[in-house]
Amino acid sequence: MGEKEPFPELEAVRKEIEILKNMSCSELSAQLDEHWERLSSEDRAYISFLMVRRGCQEAVPYLLRQLGSECSHHRSRALSGLEALGRRDCRSRFVNMHLTDESVQVRQTALIMLSTLFRNERDIGILRLALATWDDPASSVGMRLYAGAAMMYQLAVPHDERGAPAWWDEGNEYELEHPSIQRAVAETRQLLAAETFDAGISS
């Protein structure tokens, strides 16, 4: 006789995960629709993010619901999911989460995902947001690093011989002086000053 599964509940979980992995986007969406209220927040997140990995646009309504999750990690992953699915129409959600979320991690994620969603576009609104965050005395080192990276992504600032700044490592305060970040901040100031000047002339 073969050995019995020592933890039959684990085997049941494995089978359920395999079933989910073999479902189509529409089937996964139907699962969330039908069972949302009964699912734990972890299960909701798992299925939503499984859909993102598949590239399922049907995941969007559930990701938007995840933005209201009590778990900051789930909120951050929902923002990453919307960015991965290319949902530029959710721009205002990213801005709002960056400005109002109680979690520093979520605010950082919202800003960097917003910038990568509109990468290399020299978007004035995003640059204003990033520079305001950089200049804010209340911003932590980590938040300022994310803001610096957001400006780099908007302006397509290349890395120097030191390589890319470790903007995700908020323990490295010296990265604030990285030449690529300093260049992005300086170019953003110049661009926004020119924008303000041009607006003044046209008015």
Per-residue pLDDT at 54 = 92
Whether 81 contacts 67, CB under 8 Å:
no
Q: For residue range 29-53, what is the model confidence (pLDDT) as tens digits?
A: 998 999 899 988 888 998 999 999 9
For residue 2, pLDDT over 50 is answered with no
Q: For residue range 164-189, what is the model confidence (pLDDT) as tens digits?
A: 787 877 778 888 999 999 999 999 99
SS3 content of the chain, % helix, strand, coil (to 5): 70, 0, 30
Mean pLDDT, the chain, rounded, equals 88
* Banded model confidence at residue 10, pLDDT cuts 50, 70, 90: very low
Q: Is 118 helix (H, G, I), strand (E, B) or coil?
A: coil
For residue 113, pLDDT over 60 is answered with yes
Q: For residue range 57-73, what is the model confidence (pLDDT) as tens digits?
A: 999 999 999 999 999 99
Sorted by where each begins, the domain ranges of the chain are 10-102, 118-203
**Amino acid identity at 45:** A
DSSP string, 134-200: HH-TT--HHHHHHHHHHHHHHHTPPPBTTBS--TT-TT-GGGGG-HHHHHHHHHHHHHHHHHHHHHH
HSE-up of residue 23 (Cα within 13 Å, Cβ side): 20
For residue 94, pLDDT over 90 is answered with yes
Check residues 17 and 29 and name the one with the higher pLDDT: 29
* Residue in this structure with the two tokens 């900051």, named with its chain if needed: 72
* Banded model confidence at residue 7, pLDDT cuts 50, 70, 90: very low
Separation between Cα atoms, residue 12 and residue 163, nearest integer Å: 47
